[in-house]
Amino acid sequence: MKYLYLIFSNLKRKKLRTGLTLLSIMVAFLLFGYLAAIRQAFEAGVEVAGADRLIVRHKVSIIRLLPQSYEARIERIDGVDNAMASTWFGGIYQEPKNFFAQIPVVPEELFDMYPEYVVSDEGKAAWLATRTGALVGRGTMERFGWKLGDRIPINATIWGKKDGGQTWEFDIAAIYDGAEKGTDTSQFFFRYDYFDETRANGQGLVGWYTVRVANPDKAAEVASAIDAEFANSPEETKSEPEGAFIQGFANQIGNIAFIIVSIMSAVFFTILLVAGNTMAYTVRERTNELAVLKAIGFTDRGVLGLVLGESLALTLVGGVLGLGLAMLLVSMGDPTDGSFPVFYLPTRSLLLGLVLIVAMAFIAGILPALQAQRLQIADALRR
């Protein structure tokens, strides 16, 4: 208790300096939190990817299509529970910057394959009853202010219509929510039967398959079995776990994790200098006082603890404020105006932030603290 009081009074004596140091630490952790959310957005999906799901695509190129007949052949392979076909529609809503994924699927297959997309029973029934119906994620609904029953025109870039038109119209039949915080609620699903009948060409061809395996431990074997099934055919496949597929995709954008870690290192190094410098300064300034404390019976260790405690108090308050502010800022929405499928601050990063706070307090405080510990009373009092 007496230590807490001492620490507090010491921090109070130069309010301006304490305040400024606090603010710079706060900024560092604000940036830490914000960048963690950005990284999460770029690597969205890797964590929530189903361990029991595989993605099967054309071996030569992601843009090459696979026959729809592969679905039945995949499902006959040992260890495969279910397979679902998807295709990249790549349409544009109003203008290109309003990007979100549109994917034609068979509704029942989607409900079975992705239980994390939560749809009400009425929603399911409504979608099944509407041939031009779409199932839209909550995120995209809110982003454009859509309501159930709205008719949404989407301009096709890849899939022209049989009648020569490029504009497809969909009726929003149902909304899905994410079962977890990291679930992507930006997607727009519509019915494969409508898609296949309406598109000008490519009938019976699909983009890729999502396959659920009965036993996740056997996922790698099942993946090889699927690729072997289609080996030496005109359309060979490449199968990999859903997580690896998504990670591979994120890697194409760039090594986001590396860039963000580099930036954070620069930021922390900088702030460490500022905080460490402040701590060093306060100890130098108080050499006399610390000597008096020792003279009246504070142990060397006690003085060490006092300085470290001061450093910890400063960093803790600044750091927690910064993380809190980051949470607030992140909850206000993403900086790209909705292009990120998810944008939130993961709990894991918050915990890491707390660990960093303690580590930073220690590193910034340890040198001045050791200096204080080693103070010789007689020398110091004479200064």
Partner 1 sequence: MFNWISQVVSVTQFSIRSLPERKGSAAAALLGIAGVVAVMVGVLSIAQGVLRTMQSSAGDSNAIVLRSGADSEMMSGLGGDDTRIIAEAPGIARDADGAIASPELFVVINLPMRSTGTDANVPLRGVQASAMKVRKDFKLVEGRMFEWGLNEVIVGKGARQQFAGLDIGSGIEVGQERWPVVGVFEANGGLAESEIWVDAAVLQPAYRRGNSYQAVYVKLADRADFDTFKDTLTSDPRLNVKPMRESEYYDSQSTTVYNLITGLGTLIAVIMGLGAVFGALNTMYTAVSSRTREIATLRALGFRAGPVVISVVSESLLLAFIGGLFGAALAWLAFDGYRAATLNWSSFSAITFAFDVNLKLLAQGIFFAMLIGLVGGLFPAVRAARQPIAQALREL
| 287 near partner 1, rule: CB under 8 A | no
Residue pair 365/303 in contact (Cβ under 8 Å)? The answer is no
- Residue 149 CB, nearest approach to partner 1 (Å): 28
d(CA 299, CA 301): 5
The CA-based dihedral angle spanning residues 343, 346, 352, 354, taken in that order and rounded to the nearest 10 degrees: 90
d(CA 205, CA 287): 79
d(CA 67, CA 203): 9
Ramachandran sector of residue 270 (left: φ over 0; alpha: ψ -120 to 50; beta: rest): alpha
Stretch that binds partner 1, among 278-286, 296-304, 353-361, 362-370 (CB under 8 A): 278-286
Residue pair 146/172 in contact (Cβ under 8 Å)? The answer is yes
Mask: binding to partner 1, 155-194, rule CB under 8 A, as x and -? xxxx-------x----------------------------
| 21 near partner 1, rule: CB under 8 A | yes
Determine which residue in the list 118, 225, 274, 316 makes contact with partner 1, applying CB under 8 A. Answer: 274
Determine which residue in the list 4, 51, 62, 125 makes contact with partner 1, applying CB under 8 A. Answer: 62
Token duo for residue 156: 């096709």
| 253 near partner 1, rule: CB under 8 A | yes
Of 107 and 184, which CB lies nearer to partner 1 in the complex structure? 184
| 16 near partner 1, rule: CB under 8 A | yes
Largest pairwise CA distance in the chain: 97
- Long-range (24+ apart) CB contacts under 8 A made by 299-302 are 300/373, 300/374, 301/373, 302/3
Of 4 and 63, which CB lies nearer to partner 1 in the complex structure? 63
Determine which residue in the list 69, 120, 203, 251 makes contact with partner 1, applying CB under 8 A. Answer: 251
Residues in 71-110 at the binding interface with partner 1, rule: CB under 8 A: 90, 92, 96-97, 99
Please state, in angstroms and as integers, the Cα–Cα distance from residue 382 to each residue in 283, 301, 378, following that order: 16, 22, 6
- Residue 21 CB, nearest approach to partner 1 (Å): 6
Mask: binding to partner 1, 331-350, rule CB under 8 A, as x and -? ----xx--x-----------
- Residue 365 CB, nearest approach to partner 1 (Å): 15
Of 33 and 107, which CB lies nearer to partner 1 in the complex structure? 33
Of 34 and 114, which CB lies nearer to partner 1 in the complex structure? 34
- HEC letters along 109-129: HHHHHCCCEECCHHHHHHHHH
Closest CA to 353 of 330, 376, 383: 330
| 247 near partner 1, rule: CB under 8 A | yes
- Which helix H or strand E contains 337, and what residues bound it? none
Of 130 and 278, which CB lies nearer to partner 1 in the complex structure? 278
Stretch that binds partner 1, among 18-26, 69-77, 115-123, 168-176 (CB under 8 A): 18-26
Q: Residues 6 or more apart from 106 whose CB is under 8 A from it?
A: 84, 85, 191, 192, 193
Backbone angles phi, psi at 57, to 5 degrees: -135, 175
With 0-12 / 13-18 / 19 or more C-beta atoms within 10 angstroms meaning exposed / middle / buried, residue 323 is: buried
| 60 near partner 1, rule: CB under 8 A | yes
Determine which residue in the list 255, 299, 331, 376 makes contact with partner 1, applying CB under 8 A. Answer: 255
Determine which residue in the list 1, 2, 61, 180 makes contact with partner 1, applying CB under 8 A. Answer: 61
| Interacting residues with partner 1 (CB under 8 A) | 16-17, 20-21, 23-24, 27-28, 30-31, 34-35, 38, 59-64, 90, 92, 96-97, 99, 155-158, 166, 232, 234, 236, 238, 244, 247-248, 251-255, 259, 263, 266-267, 269-271, 273-274, 276-278, 280-281, 335-336, 339
